[in-house]
Every structure is written in C-alpha cells, then in structure tokens.
Amino acid sequence: MAQTELLERRSAITARQARAASEIYRCWALGIMLASNSEPTGNGSDPGGYTVAQLDAAKRYREIRMAVGHRLWPVVFAVSVEDFSPSRWANERGRGMHKAAAVELLRLGLDMAADVIGED
C-alpha cells in the first residue's frame, strides 16, 4: 500500500491531499519517466516522438512543482513519488526533524499542489 494511502487512512492527510499526491505521481510517471525512456524521434515505419499526453503531463508536473516551491518539494516528491514515509524522509535529511514536522510540511505542499490541480 502506498504511503499516501496509509497517511490518508490514518487521517494524517486529507482525501484532497491524497488525490494531489496521486496526480503528482501520475504526471511524473507519464510526463517525466515515460518521456525520458522514449525515443524523441522515430523512423519511416514508426514515427516515434513524445505523445501529447506525455507533454501535457510534463507541463502539469512542472506547474505543480513550481507552485509547491523548492522548500516543500523535497518532502512532497519523496512521499508522492518515491513512496517514503514522512519519518523516513525526516530521518534521511539528517537534521533531526520530528515526524510531525515532516507531516506538516507534506500537508502544506500537497495543499499547494491541490490548488494547482484544481482539487476542491
């Protein structure tokens, strides 16, 4: 089970925030990872190239990332994409951050992401 699902079940994040995390993952997987593994050009029998969906997902991923900002993005990315728990993220930062502080940073970042995504 994904960390965001566990956090939602434990009421650490809201359903809105969990949907935002899912959208971040979707945009990253389609727009960043899939695009980076695709051939930018094709040949005569296979036109290749990036799909419109990949380009749209990459654009949306960039918009979300910019809205969340560079201070909150690391925890949002770690939990949404890398499936870290907030406490693991806090521990790996090495600054003695308490889990509750990491969860609050995550919640703030996911709220900002949800605003961009249009989650109500």
Contact 26, 58 (CB under 8 A): no
- Report how far apart the first and last C-alpha atoms of the chain are (Å, whole number): 24
43 has pLDDT over 60: no
Work out how many domains the chain is built from and give that number: 1
Written as one letter, the residue type at 114 is A
For residue 75, the tally of other CB atoms under 10 A from its CB is 26
Which candidate, 119, 30, 35, 27, places its Cα nearest to that of 65? 27
Select the more confidently predicted residue: 14 or 119: 14
Residue-range definition of the domain harbouring residue 92: 3-117
Reported confidence tier of residue 78, pLDDT bands at 50, 70, 90:
very high
Reported confidence tier of residue 33, pLDDT bands at 50, 70, 90:
confident
Which candidate, 53, 13, 55, places its Cα nearest to that of 4? 13
Cα within 13 Å of Cα(72), Cβ side: 18
pTM for the predicted model, two decimal places: 0.85
Q: What is the pLDDT of residue 80?
A: 97
Task: Return phi, psi of residue 27, to 5°.
Answer: -65, -40
